[in-house]
Structure 1
Amino acid sequence: IPHHGDGVVAESLPTQTVDPEVQKQVAELWKTIVQHCGQNSKSVDHKQRDCDQETSRSSAVLGEWRTVRIFVSSTFTDFFSEREVLVKKVFPELREWCHDRKVFPELREWCHDRKVKVIECDLRWGVPKDATSTQALATCLEEIDRCYEANNQPFFLNMLAERYGWIPAENDVPAEVREKYPWVDGTSMTFMEILHGALSISNPNAAFFLRNPDFISVLPPDHAGRFFENTPLAIEHMKVLKCYLKEHFPHQTFSYPAQYAGVSRETGREMVQLSGLDEFASQVTQFFKTAIDKQYPTQVTTTELTPEEKEVGLQWLFVLDKSETLLGRDKELKQLLDYSCGTPDLDLETLEDWDCETGDNKLCVVVAEGGWGKTALLAGLVRRAVQNGQVFYHFVGSTASSKYHETVLQRLIVALAPNPSDPEITNPESDDETKKKLLKKCLAEWRKTDKEMLIVIDGVNELDNSESVYHLSWLPPVLPPGLRCVVSTNVAHRPTTARLFEHQAFRMTLSALDFAALKDIASDYLGKFGKKLAADQLQQLVETTKVDNPLWISLMCEELRIFGDFRTMDRKLAELPDTMDAFLNTVIKRLLAEDETGFVKKALYMIVCSMSGLPLDYILRLMGDVEEKEECPPLYWAQARRVLKPYSRTIRASGDGEEFIMFVHESMYKAVRQCMADLQEEITAWHRQLADFYQYWCDNKILRINYLPYHLQQGKLQSRLIAFLRKDRDAARMHALQRGRLLNELRCRNTAESVVPNTKEIMMCQMCSASVVCSDLS
């Protein structure tokens, strides 16, 4: 819509004369702000070196790929055009960095060469009506926390003009925000983002872009009010903030021009369009290139990490994380360490199939119910055992590929093989029988050496073929001298326990945690949020619920943490269910009842229907409208993820570092699945939606190959699956065994007899196999 009016008259623009009382009020606020920044900088400085070193170590073990999260901060309506530039040019979404793009290919290639993935965190994009909601306060600040977790010094992009933004009243700020963050009353939400993400730590990765306001004078009067403040307080706030940034961040503060370019209705409402933003785009691109290159310099390496090295790195990070949660299992840990150092002579029969001999070592099997701490115990064992010698470890569920039995079998062969690079071992076409023979060969070769190794495999009941008759057929019942093996399983999974105890084995059954250990877990969990229960309440928590494992008490503490009325805590404790299944059922019902947007339900049900979680690179598409190809607003997903955080975790693929969100534990998966037990038609619909995404809206070929056939099968879309296998180019890249298995399952099983209806006679030319003639006998 072209504008030919006179623009904004001078009298309507804000004046520069400010009431001395307003100046005093702002100055007092800034005393508090500066004091906070000084205190926080001191607490951050002494940790930074360790953080940088830890980042480098993490980068190495993650296959060299690093994730950069750039938080975008600004007021909303007056930066519509800049956000368009960011979304469409400067920050293409992470999933498209490694694929063909027509915008800024040099930046895409630059990041790809450095093995850096860029994610933009712009929570207000697409949800302007919620940009000033109290619900968004915690969500935005916690999203900055995620940037801290990813990069230590978060990459932070702030855009400033003439608007200060919404200033919440004291009762608008939730108590949890005040407890967790140093909230400064009287400042705007946008400023608190700046304080938390940049000012408080003198962040070298923060950039501030100040827009020249000259264009405002030619704006249509009915739109100009969105671009400047009328209140003296907001005007003074902006004046002081800009001066502070220019003084304290002189090399990180940039000015840029903009020109009025009319009004557009493309979004469904009238929005002012600005042009001449090439300088802005160039400044943003160049700053973050420099900042990323400084924090993550190009690593000169002569060899690429092998898939096994990447997998080991990811699993080691999992070990470090889970071992931190080990409490109350000192006795069991000592017993496992004793086993790893040696076992007594065994009186076993010779098992010819495995070429076993007298003196071989029995397996040690750790069994317990779900959530009793098997994984934490084995992670603690690995963390201790690696200090004493060579350890092979595999935690099922720790990475995207860890649940496949082929993965653990191949990794074990590589760990035991005298020459891991032998083509016979690295052959990707090897089937299970070939791999099993290779393992037996490696064990025979190991018997000739004096080497020692501890093998630790956690959660074998969660392997992909756990319901198959071939489950664990590759695992030898005893091991040669020098090799010892600890495996864990859920005692409730009968096929696994039956297989593991077919032959003699050491058995460790985890018992319920005692009150002291449960108390420590509860106190530690609540203490992270500045909360605690009285001694009698802790006693009531344990006795009323009969809680007996770490997962259960941790999740109960999460429910208590978000319970709003501490005065009725005793009644809340008395109402808690006395079984973990019943408790998880109440949690899921609460999550669904409080889900105003529907995205929590969508995430829960989609994770259940997925093979190994949902790919986070594409989560906005998955949560959005797949049919219309409309993404979910980032703020809505951030809010849903915040709700699901205690019940979910992120795993990574060892190949390209793809991240997946899945449930924190198998028990949560089973609980959600139970809630869907009577919703078979809905389950089929979710599979079809996932199939539509992978087939029509996913541009990652590996994801399409791995997950599309499964969802087409589960969605009862056989015709589409056949067409995919026959005609889609990606299907030609599938592993021959996977493709063959799918085709075999699709094969018609009906008997072809002349007396059977719809049976037709076929004649085939012997000279040319391509000629087939069918005669219609009807």
Structure 2
Amino acid sequence: HQTIRNHTHYVLELKLLTSEQRSSYIDMFFHSFNKILESEQKSLLVDNKGGEHPIYLSYVCENLRQFGDYSLVTKRLKTYPSTLDNLLNFLLDEAYEIIDNRPLTDAFFKLLLISDIGLIESDMVNILEHYLNRNTDENNRIDVNQMIWAVLRRHVKIFLDTTWIAGIQYIIFRDSSIEKLLRQRCLKDDANETCTLHTFMAEFYRKYSSMKDIATSRVLYHYEQGHMYQELVTYLRSPEGRIVTRHDRENYLRRRRCTNTLGSVDTIDNQRAYACHVCAKNLKLAPFMMQKSPCIICSKHIPPSTSTEIPLEKREARLCQKHGTNDYSQNFQCLLCKRLQPTSRGELSTP
């Protein structure tokens, strides 16, 4: 859904259906399941004003297909609201009542809402069990097994669809209408809860996911969406983060980098970067890079941007106030260990 929203040329506006089109859709839909509606039942559905909307009609037909008592179909058709939002609320309320486990149902919808590509179906039992027991002790654990998941899946499947990515099956929402409605009902624009959900999912993918090759990208996504930027950078620097592709690594770090452009004049907003004597000993620059302005962290060559640039042997690493020291010129902070160091003289010395 997000891909479609990002590319407007993929959007196809759905026009309202005529009576003939509604009748044809109903016949084709039920015929594909070897079912048929009686003429009175079909007329009730065709004459329903909401049936002009293709998504509304598809929800009603799917709900009728799953309806267990054929003798009550006519009565059922008379209970459907005439607008899409009211219909979805009607079906959601019914599903919650049948499942009779609001914490479980809410947890499933919330976790699916914050996932941009859906949830891995084979992980669903583990995800729900860890989420519902995140704040409980061993004596009060909530059991979530395959049977419980199957019951939940059965009663909410009208709102869901599946997709395959790299050979793995994901659960997604059927359309953006139900996603939008559930976002209002479950998350209610609560930024704190959204961040908490992203935090949980990041930790789940790091520790418990059965798909380790997929988990890495999910960890990065949820750390970023949960505004856990320090955890994101720490993860990329950890042994776990070594499998992150260079492209993904650069994209995530680029969005976290400071974009201030600094000159060479010392001010509180434009500071020299220092390393303490302990950290300085650990900076290993390749010999052939010594005269080529290498990066002090990775030794990568930094070419001059113009021919009039400061000579390479005199170039300095600079920091803005946000990343430097608040009382710069009296004290400085080591770039690597962040330890505060006093300057040796009243004025800045040459690094």
TM-score tier, shorter chain, comes to: 0.5 to 0.7
- Conserved 8 A contact 2:128-2:144: yes
Q: Closer, same or farther in 2 for the Cα pair 1:678/1:565, shift >3 Å?
A: farther
**In structure 2, do the counterparts of structure 1 residues 776 and 566 end up closer, same or farther at CA, with 3 Å as the change threshold?**
farther
Query: Which residue of structure 1 aligns with residue 149 of structure 2?
Result: 637
Is the CA contact (8 Å cut-off) linking 2:50 and 2:57 kept in structure 1? Answer: no
Distance 1:751 1:718 in 2: 22
TM-score, normalised on structure 2? Answer: 0.64
Matched, 1:722 2:288: no
Alignment-derived partner of residue 86 in structure 2? 582
Aligned to 1:309: none
The change in CA–CA distance for 1:556 and 1:720 in structure 2 (over 3 A counts) is same
For residues 621-658 of structure 1, the C-alpha deviation after alignment (integer angstroms, 9 at most, x for no partner) is: 1121254899831101111121232322222223xx22
Query: Residue 545 of structure 1 is aligned with which of 31, 43, 49?
Result: 49
CA apart distance, 1:549:
4.3
Paired letter, 1:603: F
Residue 489 (structure 1) aligned with residue 11 (structure 2) = yes
The 1:490/1:684 distance shift into structure 2, 3 A limit, reads farther
Q: Tell whether 2:202 aligns with 1:680.
A: no
Q: Distance between the aligned counterparts of 2:29 and 2:284, measured in 1? A: 75
Question: Do structure 1's residue 608 and structure 2's residue 110 form an aligned pair?
Answer: no
- Contact 1:544–1:574 under 8 Å retained in 2: no
Instruction: Please report how far the alpha carbon of residue 742 of structure 1 lies from its aligned counterpart in structure 2 after TM superposition.
Output: 1.0
- After superposition, residues 428-577 of structure 1 pair within 5 angstroms as 461-462=4-5, 466=6, 488-491=10-13, 511-526=15-30, 532-561=36-65, 572-577=76-81
- Partner secondary structure for residue 512 of structure 1: coil
Residues 555 and 646 in structure 1, CA contact (< 8 A), matched pair in contact too? yes
Distance 2:273 2:80 in 1: 67
Residue number in structure 2 paired with 1:648: 160
Determine if contact 2:50/2:84 at 8 Å carries over to the other structure.
no
Aligned to 2:196, the other structure's residue is in SS state helix
Per the alignment, residue 319 of structure 1 pairs with none
Report how far residue 739 of structure 1 moved: 0.9
1:660 paired with 2:149, answer: no
How many positions carry a matched residue from both structures?
Answer: 277
The separation in 1 between residues aligned to 2:69 and 2:150, in whole angstroms, is 26
The equivalent of 1:696 in structure 2 is 207
Which runs of no fewer than 5 residues in structure 1 stay unpaired?
1-396, 398-402, 404-459, 473-486, 492-509
Deviation at 1:489, TM superposition (A): 1.2
Structure 2 CA distance for aligned equivalents of residues 610 and 621 of structure 1: 16
Partners in 2 of 1:703 and 1:710 — Cα distance?
Answer: 11
| Letter of the structure 2 residue corresponding to residue 624 of structure 1 | E
User: Aligned partners of 1:517 and 1:529: how far apart in 2?
Assistant: 19
Q: Which amino acid aligns with 2:18?
A: D
The answer as to whether partners of 1:687 and 1:715 remain within 8 angstroms in 2 is yes
Query: Of residues 617, 621, 632 in structure 1, which corresponds to 2:122?
Result: 617
Contact 2:127 2:204 in 1 (8 A): yes
CA contact (8 A) 2:205 2:219 kept: yes
1:43-62 → structure 2 map (5 Å cutoff): none
SS at match of 1:746: coil
Deviation at 1:707, TM superposition (A): 0.9
CA contact (8 A) 1:588 1:672 kept: no
Q: Is the partner of 1:743 in helix, strand or coil?
A: helix
Distance in 2, matches of 1:633 and 1:616, equals 13
Any idea what SS the aligned residue of 1:546 has? helix
Alignment identity in percent?
A: 22
Contiguous gaps of at least 5 residues in structure 2:
286-295, 298-333, 344-351
Aligned to 1:747: 257
Instruction: Tell whether the 8 Å contact from 1:761 to 1:775 is kept in structure 2 after alignment.
Output: no
Alpha-carbon separation, structure 2, partners of 1:763 and 1:666: 51
Q: CA deviation at 1:550?
A: 4.0
The alignment partner of 2:273 has SS state of strand
Q: 1:564 to 1:606 in 2, by over 3 A?
A: same
Q: Say whether residues 1:762 and 2:270 are aligned partners.
A: no
The alpha carbon displacement at 1:575 in A equals 4.2
Query: TM-score, normalising length from structure 1?
Result: 0.32
Q: CA deviation at 1:616?
A: 2.0
Contact 2:29 2:61 in 1 (8 A): yes
Instruction: Report the residue type matching 1:643 in the other structure.
Output: H
Report the 3-state secondary structure (helix = DSSP H, G, I; strand = E; otherwise coil) of the residue aligned with 1:611. coil
Q: In the alignment, which residue of structure 2 is the partner of 1:671?
A: 181
Q: 1:306-344: CA deviations, max 9, x gaps?
A: xxxxxxxxxxxxxxxxxxxxxxxxxxxxxxxxxxxxxxx
Specify which structure has the higher proportion of strand.
Answer: 1
State how 1:340-419 maps to structure 2 within 5 Å: none
Task: State how far apart, in whole Å, the 2-side matches of 1:767 and 1:516 are.
Answer: 77
* 2:179 aligned partner, one-letter code: Y
Hey, what's the Cα distance between the residues in 2 that align with 1:517 and 1:679?
A: 41
Instruction: For residue 614 of structure 1, report the CA deviation from its aligned partner.
Output: 0.9
With over 3 angstroms needed to count, the CA separation of the structure-2 counterparts of 1:772 and 1:632, relative to structure 1, is same
Structure 1 pair 709/582, CA: closer, same or farther in 2 (3 Å)? same
Question: Any idea what the Cα deviations from partners look like across 1:173-212, whole Å, max 9, x if unmatched?
Answer: xxxxxxxxxxxxxxxxxxxxxxxxxxxxxxxxxxxxxxxx
SS class of match (2:81): coil
Q: Is the CA contact (8 Å cut-off) linking 1:614 and 1:662 kept in structure 2?
A: yes
Is this contact kept in 2: 1:545–1:576, CA < 8 A?
Answer: no
Letter of the 1:726 counterpart: R
* 1:591/1:719 CA distance change after superposition, 3 Å: farther
Query: Partner letter of residue 126 of structure 2?
Result: R
> C-alpha root-mean-square deviation of aligned residues, in Å?
3.8
Greater relative contact order (Cα 8 A, min sep 6): structure 1 or 2? 1
**Structure 2 counterpart of 1:775, one-letter code:** Q
Residue identity in the other structure for 2:201 = L
Letter in 2 for 1:600: T
The residue number in structure 2 matching 1:733 is 243
SS at match of 2:205: helix
Partner amino acid for 1:610?
S
Q: Which residue of structure 1 aligns with residue 95 of structure 2?
A: 591
**Helix, strand or coil for the counterpart of 1:556?**
helix
Taking the aligned partners of 2:198 and 2:44, their CA distance within structure 1 comes to 43
